[in-house]
Amino acid sequence: MKVNFGGIVPLSTVDWLGRAVMVVFLRGCPLSCPHCHNQNLQTGEHLVSMHTISSRIVSVVKGLPVASLARSGLEPSLQIDLEDASERASSKPFVDALVLSGGEPLLQVEACRRLFRLARSLKLATAIETSGCFPNGLQWLLEKGLVDKVFLDIKSALMEPDYEKATGRAGMAARVAESLSICFKSKVAFDVRCTIFPGMPTISQLVDIAETVCSLMGQYPDNRLDYVLLQQGTPREGESRFEPVAEQALHEMARACEAGCGRKLRISVRSIPKMSWKN
Ligand code: SF4
């Protein structure tokens, strides 16, 4: 099987707070968010075999550089069977979780399934970072019991034309709302993430998001929503500079969201550290 592959960050401590994770990026996304943080992964094709990606994952989990795998006889293809992967990972894992990100990972839902199966065999926890525009794919993975945590990005109030403005694509608000409901119903652990750029989303759009979340909390009291995270959006490489929304303003937005919710809504605020790439 070929995967439209974006890259691997072998170790990240910011994608899943409290865990040391490996992030695998899958290329391609149907949205065109104006401040896309991974614009180089929105489009294009870089097809890599699932076996090659699996080998790289195993090498990271074992703390082995790819070169040493090559020396150990896995070259020229660096390929191993998925079923063999767990046998190779006999040493203590270097990371404790696999996060799939993008692009939009659910665009390649079968690749997600296989990578999460590999993660399970390596005794890694699993998480997916998604824009929520493929609710059926999300539901399918959750029903297979392959996902421990969902990070659901919500870009604006869940209505049109707000969502189209935030994502460059019409018709997504209903799909993202469905993904949010799926997270509440399925009892998977999840965070709602809102990335805040100057004027996008506005405070009133954020309060709308918070009200939707609060209403679902009431409908599904045994849900496993951990946090609503307001994270500071920063200019991406090559984008015209702008001053990110100050952390203090983010805290004020968080208070406005909490005030509109009669329930205990855990809102966390953070600014984004830079990440380095390894292709
Ligand atoms: S959903 Fe994510 S990857 Fe897709 S365009 Fe928006 S920010 Fe970029």
pLDDT tens digits, one per residue of 25-40: 999 999 999 999 889 9
d(CA 111, CA 115): 6
Among left, alpha and beta (phi > 0; psi -120 to 50; other), residue 18 is left
Ligand 1 binding pocket mutation candidate from 27, 38, 165, 167 (most atoms within 8 A of CB): 38
Quote the domain boundaries for residue 144: 2-270
Residue 13 lies in a domain: yes
Q: What's the pLDDT band for 70 if we cut at 50, 70, 90?
A: very low
- The stretches of the chain forming alpha helices (DSSP H) are 50-61, 66-69, 82-88, 109-121, 135-143, 162-167, 172-186, 203-219, 247-259
Is the residue at 82 inside a domain? yes
Confidence of residue 73 (pLDDT cuts 50, 70, 90): very low
Which residue is it, tokens 């149907």? 30
Structure tokens at 153: 């990005």
CA 276 to chain centre: 17
Quick check: CB of 43 below 6 Å from ligand 1? no
Cα 8 to Cα 111: distance, rounded to the nearest angstrom: 15
Helix (H) or strand (E) holding 24: strand 21-26
% pLDDT > 90, the chain: 76
- The two tokens of residue 260 are 């509109």
User: Could you tell me if residue 277 is inside a domain?
Assistant: no
User: Is residue 278 one of the residues assigned to a domain?
Assistant: no
**Is residue 94 in some structural domain?**
yes
Q: How many domains does the chain have?
A: 1
266 lies in some domain: yes
What's the helix, strand, coil split of the chain in %, to 5?
40, 20, 40
User: Which ligand 1 atom sits nearest the alpha carbon of residue 103?
Assistant: 3
Contact criterion met (CB below 8 Å) for 13 and 23:
no
Which atom of ligand 1 lies closest to the CA of 37? Answer: 7
Q: Is 14 in the pocket of ligand 1 (CB under 6 A)?
A: no
CA of 42, closest atom in ligand 1: 3
What is residue 120's three-state secondary structure? helix
Tokens of 68: 């040493």
Using a 6 Å cutoff on CB, does residue 31 contact ligand 1? yes
Contact 102, 27 (CB under 8 A): yes
CATH of the domain at 18: 3.20.20.70
Q: Is the separation of the CB atoms in 82 and 54 below 8 Å? A: yes
Residue 245, pLDDT score: 94
Residue 232 located in a structural domain: yes
Give the residue, by CA position, lying nearest to ligand 1 atom 8. Answer: 36
Q: Structure pTM?
A: 0.88
Nearest residue (CA) to ligand 1, atom 7: 36
| Residue 271 confidence (pLDDT) | 78
- Indicate if ligand 1 lies below 6 Å from the C-beta of 265: no
What pLDDT band is residue 85 in, cutting at 50, 70 and 90? low
**What is d(CA 57, CA 87) in angstroms, rounded to the nearest whole number?**
13
Higher pLDDT, 233 or 64: 233
State whether the beta carbon of 156 lies less than 6 angstroms from ligand 1.
Answer: no
Cβ of residue 104 lying under 6 Å from some atom of ligand 1: yes
- What DSSP letter does each residue of 71-89 carry, written as one string? IIIITTTT---HHHHHHH-
Say yes or no: CB of residue 233 within 6 Å of ligand 1: no
According to DSSP, the β-strands at 125-130 and 47-49 are: unpaired
65 close to 59: Cβ distance less than 8 angstroms:
yes
Report which ligand 1 atom has the smallest distance to the Cα of 29.
4
The answer to whether residue 275 is domain-embedded is: no
CB 205 within 8 A of CB 157: yes
Q: Under a CB-based contact definition with an 8 Å cutoff, are residues 159 and 211 in contact? A: no
